[in-house]
Amino acid sequence: MSECTLTKDDIKRIPFTLYDAGWVILCIGMAIGAGIVFLPIQIGIKGIWVFIVSIIIVYPGIYLLQDIYLKTLSRTEDAKDYTSI
């Protein structure tokens, strides 16, 4: 298996296009959408311990789903959209 290394000059020559900006916005939107999972928790009524337990339960799932999404996206040859992966 060959290993590909990029120098700083190679990285500077890679253009950041509008298409790339769309993927950045999509990933940020996923992170914000994942954060909405925490909104229904009423810390004042239920207490801080319920909030802490819910974070411990929910955060690994959110992290793993985004990790899988970004790994499949970065490993594909043709990443026009997520359904083509």
Local structure of residue 12 (DSSP, 8 states):
H
Q: What digits encode the pLDDT tens for the residues 13-72?
A: 878 888 878 788 877 777 777 666 666 656 667 777 877 887 788 888 878 888 887 787
The answer to pTM > 0.95 is no
What's the whole-number mean pLDDT along residues 68-82?
A: 72
What is the signed CA dihedral for 25, 28, 30, 36, rounded to 10 degrees? -130
Alpha-carbon span 7 to 14, nearest angstrom: 11
Determine the residue type at 85: I
Domain residue spans of the chain: 17-75
Q: What's the rounded Cα separation, in Å, for the pair 47 and 55? A: 13
Cβ atoms of 54 and 41 within 8 Å: the answer is: yes
